């Protein structure tokens, strides 16, 4: 296929719109179902690069959930414990434990369900039946993968009344080294960011604490590769092979850190017994189920959902409030998280905020005039920090 005609560009008034290769070669993908749009393809092509790099760097299958050209999360295909299955709404999926790819997407989708609503999905490996069944349950715009099992393809073709976007990517495709884009009629040209994040780049530990377990190196890789395809400025928290909080597109580094930390806190709180045991009505729709949990956790004490009668439409009985001090006590027990930044920390406030959410490991490029202050803050808190020397801005 030499050209793919789009319904329109970023907005309906931006017509005509198309995808093609300046070289005249065939496009490196084919559309198996639906009609993906301009933004869908921006998500799809960035998301595919992310999961392909995670698979290359770790040797494990990977999945990501993308929304408006940034990942809401990305994950390796590790099994989910019972509590995490319940928090990700997949505790009833038959065969989940037998599909690392399905586990990867269940984790990625379940991390930040508010942001993932209507996502575009990327899978590092051919989509199997169980993964398709997990995808089929969610509100999503489309998926990109290097292939699809016949049963998986049939399941996905039923979504959105047959209009679900299914893209098959050539896994061997490598783009030209030079990339271009236009803004206001001006052409920008640069070398494609072909920098690969590997364990070999995670050696420059600059703090007193030096112990760096192999599993934390994998968390750092997950966080850094996620940041490589996140709109900058950005900060990412990771745990157990999964990006659990992405703070994207903020002008201030501390706002990135606060946003990522807040999302990581919510991910942890969603696995608390208080949330898992909320007395939901059995026929409550999945999106509303999720929205109510978000409201329940967002207020200082118990969530707006308990204050205006909305709980009556969602619960069999009024749930107990989740007090601020209870949340703080629950989160204070969390530790072992990794925090990565796409550029240096200009101030130590980022370290202190990250530590409040259980961060014990930090990786960042370094290069600030206040690196000494940042290192000292890490030493005061017993945090290990390494500097990669590699900035990961993405625009």
Rounded CA gap, 202 and 197, in Å? 9
- Is 344:320 a contact under the CB 8 Å cutoff? no
Q: What is the pLDDT of residues 3-39, one digit of tens each?
A: 999 999 999 999 999 999 999 999 999 999 999 999 9
- Determine the pLDDT at residue 314: 87
Total Cβ atoms within 10 A of residue 386: 21
Residues designated catalytic = 67-68, 233, 395
Question: 57: buried, middle or exposed (CB in 10 Å: 19+, 13-18, 0-12)?
Answer: buried
Domain ranges of the chain: 3-169, 195-268+333-387, 273-321
Average pLDDT, integer, range 173-185? 95
Rounded CA gap, 94 and 222, in Å? 27
What percent of the chain lies above the pLDDT cut of 90?
Answer: 88
Radius of gyration of the chain (CA): 21
- Determine the pLDDT at residue 307: 67
Total Cβ atoms within 10 A of residue 15: 10
- Is 311:305 a contact under the CB 8 Å cutoff? yes
In CATH, the architecture of 195-268+333-387 is 3-Layer(aba) Sandwich (3.40)
Average pLDDT, integer, range 256-282? 95
- Is 191:307 a contact under the CB 8 Å cutoff? no
Query: Half-sphere exposure of 336 toward its Cβ, with a 13 Å CA cutoff?
Result: 13
Q: Is 351 left (phi over 0), alpha (psi -120 to 50) or beta?
A: alpha
pTM tops 0.85, yes or no = yes
Instruction: Report which DSSP code applies to 304.
Output: G
Q: What is the pLDDT of residues 30-89, one digit of tens each?
A: 999 999 999 999 999 999 999 999 999 999 999 999 999 999 999 999 999 999 999 999
Dihedral sign computed on CA atoms, order 225, 56, 193, 47 = negative
| pLDDT > 70? residue 394 | yes
| pLDDT > 90? residue 292 | no
Q: What is the pLDDT of residues 98-131, one digit of tens each?
A: 999 999 999 999 999 999 999 999 999 999 999 9
In three-state secondary structure terms, 322 is coil
For residues 290 and 372, the model is more confident at: 372
The CATH code of domain 3-169 reads 3.40.140.20
Same fold, 3-169 and 195-268+333-387: yes
- Determine the pLDDT at residue 308: 64
Query: 3-state DSSP helix/strand/coil percent for the chain, to nearest 5?
Result: 40, 20, 40
- Is 348:377 a contact under the CB 8 Å cutoff? yes
Query: Half-sphere exposure of 4 toward its Cβ, with a 13 Å CA cutoff?
Result: 21
| pLDDT > 60? residue 301 | no
Mean predicted lDDT score pLDDT of the chain: 94
């Amino acid at each position: 296929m030499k050209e793919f005609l789009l319904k329109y560009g970023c907005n309906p008034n931006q017509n005509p719109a198309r995808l093609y290769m300046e070289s005249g070669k065939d496009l490196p993908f084919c559309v198996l179902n639906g009609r993906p749009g301009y933004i869908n393809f921006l998500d799809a092509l960035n998301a595919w690069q992310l999961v392909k790099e995670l698979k290359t760097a770790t040797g494990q299958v990977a999945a990501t959930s993308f929304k408006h050209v940034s990942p809401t999360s990305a994950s390796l295909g590790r099994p989910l414990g019972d509590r995490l299955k319940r928090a990700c709404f997949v505790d009833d999926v038959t065969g989940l434990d037998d599909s690392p790819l399905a586990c990867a997407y269940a984790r990625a989708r379940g991390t930040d369900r508010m942001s993932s609503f209507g996502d575009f999905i990327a899978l590092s490996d051919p989509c199997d039946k169980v993964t398709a069944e997990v995808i089929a349950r969610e509100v999503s715009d489309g998926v990109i993968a290097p292939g699809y099992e016949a049963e998986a393809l049939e399941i996905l073709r039923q979504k959105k009344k047959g209009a679900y976007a299914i893209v098959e990517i050539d896994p061997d495709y490598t783009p030209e080294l030079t990339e271009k884009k236009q803004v206001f009629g001006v052409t920008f040209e640069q070398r494609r960011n072909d920098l690969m994040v590997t364990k070999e780049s995670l050696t420059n530990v600059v703090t007193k604490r030096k112990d760096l377990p192999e599993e934390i190196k994998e968390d750092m890789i997950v966080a850094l590769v996620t940041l490589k395809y996140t709109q900058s400025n950005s900060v990412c928290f990771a745990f157990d092979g999964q990006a659990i909080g992405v703070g994207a597109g903020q002008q201030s580094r501390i706002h990135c850190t606060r946003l990522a930390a807040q999302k990581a806190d919510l991910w942890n709180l969603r696995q608390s017994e208080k949330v898992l045991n909320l007395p939901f009505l059995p026929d409550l729709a999945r999106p509303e189920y999720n929205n109510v949990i978000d409201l329940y956790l967002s207020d200082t004490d118990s969530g707006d959902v308990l204050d205006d009668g909305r709980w009556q439409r969602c619960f069999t009985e009024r749930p107990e409030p989740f007090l601020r001090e209870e949340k703080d006590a629950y989160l204070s027990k969390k530790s072992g998280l990794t925090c990565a930044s796409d550029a240096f920390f200009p101030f130590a406030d980022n370290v202190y905020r990250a530590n409040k959410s259980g961060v014990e490991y930090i990786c960042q490029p370094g290069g600030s005039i206040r690196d000494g202050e940042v290192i000292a803050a890490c030493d005061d808190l017993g945090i290990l920090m390494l500097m990669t020397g590699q900035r990961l801005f993405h625009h």
